[in-house]
């Protein structure tokens, strides 16, 4: 992945599979620095999507952003990561998270200790990618003489953690190469998250770079009102899954919980105040969104990855962003 103030594009999830190849090619030719393939259940697959994007492009970096630590066994996840990294050397990184709790529970996979599951998954994947043989019983995952036939052939694949709470962010600083912050992060939250990450880095005595990527629900339009209207429903979709550290740090958890209890997604969509859209998304005119992107860099982000909404207008937004937003940011 590139370093510094990078601009990425988030594909996958609500982006239909047949649009991925063209969108990836357009993003590369338009000057985006990186692509991220989201895997929100139950939409478009992240690993298959990343392979499609890499195969359709020549230079742009592509990351998983993020896959669940508990949906795939670490041995399977390491096998997939190694296969992609070997085929597209130097262009791929992997983001691992737990997943939205409600969605994980739909599959009966929510772990007793999310923190233990994340530590076990990330460390096991790293060890397997290095070619180590794993034998373990009684932990979160079991391994019986497991070794990859094709471990990583070159430089280690960067492993990022998609996390939100203080303990998870600290763990990411301790064991990962970077962190991915979920959509609806405020500038206050980015600064707070960087502090928690640094606590983990201090604990592990790490001095290497730790890359912080912020995902942001995104809509740009010459009509800023239309852009803001386009992000209201997606923001409500993600925020109606419950409260967490993002809403706690921003100071809206009580209000959000009341809306969810009142009527779930519809109540959040219809009842959220306008300032949530201003602060928790990147939406507006080209000049407005460029200013909002720069504000995330100032808050401590190394990369801002734009999640375009509505997803069926992704080509238009890539084009408009390339012509009128990227020059303002850079």
Residue 254 lies in a domain: no
Q: Alpha-carbon distance 288 to 188, whole Å?
A: 19
The per-residue pLDDT for range 227-268, each reduced to its tens digit, is: 999 999 999 999 998 899 999 999 999 999 999 999 999 999
Q: Alpha-carbon distance 307 to 301, whole Å?
A: 16
Residue 264 lies in a domain: no
The per-residue pLDDT for range 63-116, each reduced to its tens digit, is: 999 999 999 999 999 999 999 999 999 999 999 999 877 788 888 888 889 999
For residue 4, the model assigns a pLDDT of 58
Q: Give the strand pairing for 134-136 and 143-146.
A: antiparallel
Q: Alpha-carbon distance 78 to 75, whole Å?
A: 5
Residue 255 lies in a domain: no
Residue 248 lies in a domain: no
Question: What whole-number percentage of the chain has pLDDT above 70?
Answer: 99
Residue 253 lies in a domain: no
Task: Please answer whether residues 148 and 83 qualify as being in contact, where contact means their C-beta atoms are separated by less than 8 angstroms.
Answer: no
Mean pLDDT for all residues in the chain = 94
The per-residue pLDDT for range 108-135, each reduced to its tens digit, is: 888 889 999 999 999 999 999 999 999 9
The tally of domains found in the chain comes to 1
Residue 25 lies in a domain: yes
For residue 44, the model assigns a pLDDT of 84
For residue 1, the model assigns a pLDDT of 43
The per-residue pLDDT for range 134-189, each reduced to its tens digit, is: 998 888 899 999 999 999 988 899 999 999 999 999 999 999 999 999 999 999 99
* Owning domain of residue 288: 6-231+279-329
Is residue 3 over pLDDT 70?
A: no
Residue 298 lies in a domain: yes
For residue 167, the model assigns a pLDDT of 97
Q: What is the CATH number of the domain that holds 23?
A: 3.20.20.30
Residue 263 lies in a domain: no
């Amino acid at each position: 992945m590139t370093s510094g103030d990078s601009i990425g594009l988030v594909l996958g999830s609500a982006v239909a599979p047949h649009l991925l190849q063209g969108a990836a090619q357009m993003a590369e030719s338009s000057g985006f620095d990186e692509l991220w393939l989201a895997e929100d259940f139950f939409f478009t697959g992240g690993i298959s999507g990343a392979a499609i994007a890499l195969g359709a492009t020549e230079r742009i970096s592509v990351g998983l952003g993020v896959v669940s630590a508990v949906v795939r066994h670490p041995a399977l996840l390491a096998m997939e990561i190694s296969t992609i990294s070997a085929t597209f050397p130097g262009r791929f990184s992997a983001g691992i998270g737990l997943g939205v709790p409600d969605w994980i529970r739909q599959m009966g996979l929510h772990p007793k200790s999310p923190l233990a599951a994340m530590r076990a998954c990330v460390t096991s994947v790293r060890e397997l990618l290095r070619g180590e043989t794993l034998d373990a019983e009684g932990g979160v995952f079991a391994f019986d003489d497991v070794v990859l036939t094709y471990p990583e052939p070159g430089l280690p694949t960067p492993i990022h953690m998609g996390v939100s709470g203080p303990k998870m962010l600290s763990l990411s600083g301790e064991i990962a190469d970077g962190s991915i912050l979920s959509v609806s992060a405020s500038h206050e939250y980015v600064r707070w998250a960087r502090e928690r990450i640094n606590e983990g880095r201090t604990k592990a005595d790490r001095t290497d770079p730790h890359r912080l990527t912020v995902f942001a629900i995104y809509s740009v339009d010459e009509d800023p009102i239309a852009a803001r209207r386009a992000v209201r429903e997606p923001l409500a979709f993600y925020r109606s899954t419950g409260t967490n550290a993002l809403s706690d740090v921003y100071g809206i958890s009580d209000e959000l919980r009341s809306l969810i209890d009142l009527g779930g997604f519809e109540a959040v969509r219809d009842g959220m105040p306008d300032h949530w859209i201003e602060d928790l998304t990147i939406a507006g005119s080209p000049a407005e969104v460029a200013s909002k992107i720069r504000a995330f860099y100032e808050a401590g982000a190394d990369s801002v990855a734009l999640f375009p909404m509505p997803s069926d207008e992704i080509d238009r937004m890539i084009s408009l962003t390339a012509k009128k937003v990227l020059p303002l940011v850079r």
